[in-house]
Structures are given as structure tokens and as C-alpha cells.
Amino acid sequence: MTDFERYTAVYSPELTRFCMKLCGDVHDAEDLFQDTWTRVFDRFEQYDPEQSFKSWLFAICANIFKNSKKQKYNSSRAVFSSKEEKERFLLSIPDEEKDLDAYLDLYDAIYALPKKHRVVLVLYYFREFSQSEIARMLDIPEGTVKSRLNTAKKLLKRRLSYEEYQR
């Protein structure tokens, strides 16, 4: 097994979840996933084994997502043909914690965030990158990462509190 095949096997599940959290649309997430691995394969000889492969992979993915003009990443809601399709997809994602209702609420709230806030939130809390790593990945100042995280948390709290109030 080559290094590339080993990395693909190890990181594909995490990359799948990351793509879905960024895109919210199954088809766009699949495209982003494929585009990311294609770019990684094309530039694999540039990877420095002294650095974190995961950071390099997620930086490529985040930059493809950020720079893509042809995808509908700015839509306000995830696009599934039905609620059942959405739940089936989410259930298919291997995850240690499976509280589906809470996950769906959080998923909807995260996807409703503006793209710039959603990306830093997912990288920080769900992929566990440091603020400085995110700043390097997205080529933005670390202070901007902190500000976007703070705003994202406030927006999430407001949205989740409102949804809880509506029940």
C-alpha cells in the first residue's frame, strides 16, 4: 500500500464529514471531497512528511471550498430531496456520538451560518485545528479567526436558543 492509499484510507471518513459540514449539500460535498483528493494526488510530491498531513489535507479542502465559484455554497439551507434522505446520509457517517435529533439541530444551525464563520467553526471545533493553524490554512490573520469564532458561537447560541424556545 502506497503512502497516498494509506492516507486516503485513514482520512476519508473525516474528510467526508468535513465536506458535508461545509457544503450541506450531498452532491456538493461529494464534489468537494473528490476535488480535494484530486488536488492532493496532483500535489502529493509537494507534501512535507515533517508536517501534519491532516492539516495539509484540510487546508486544501477549505481553500477549494472558499475559492469555488461554480458551486452553490452560499445557499442558506442544505439541499436534500427529502428529510429522510438527509437523515439517511447523516446516519451513514461513522461517528462515535449518535444523538441524531441534537445533531440535526446543530447541523442546521451550523449550516445556516455565513460561510466565513462556518468554515472556521468547523475547522476549530470539529476538526480540532488550532486558531493559528486555521489562520495559515485560510491565509487570514489569527485575530480574524478569533473574531469569526466568537461571532459564530454567538450566532449559534442565538439560533439554538430560538429553536428550543419554539418547541
The answer on pLDDT for 78 being more than 60 is no
Phi and psi for 99 in degrees, rounded to 5?
-85, 90
The answer on pLDDT for 49 being more than 50 is yes
Average pLDDT, the chain: 80
Task: Give mean pLDDT, residues 28-57.
Answer: 91
The answer on pLDDT for 91 being more than 80 is no
Domain boundaries, the chain: 3-166
pLDDT for the residue numbered 11: 93
How far apart (Å, rounded) are the C-alpha atoms in residues 102 and 106?
Answer: 6
Written as one letter, the residue type at 32 is: L
101 compared with 107, residue with greater pLDDT: 107
How far apart (Å, rounded) are the C-alpha atoms in residues 139 and 68?
Answer: 16
**Cell representation of residue 35:** 476535488
pLDDT for the residue numbered 70: 41
Residues above pLDDT 70, as percent of the chain? 76
- 71: pLDDT confidence band, cut at 50, 70 and 90? very low
pLDDT in tens, 14-42: 999 999 888 888 888 898 999 999 999 99
Fold held by 3-166: Butyryl-CoA Dehydrogenase, subunit A; domain 3 (1.20.140)
The answer on pLDDT for 144 being more than 90 is yes
Helix 131-138, helix 142-166: angle, nearest 10: 110
pLDDT in tens, 114-131: 888 988 988 888 788 899
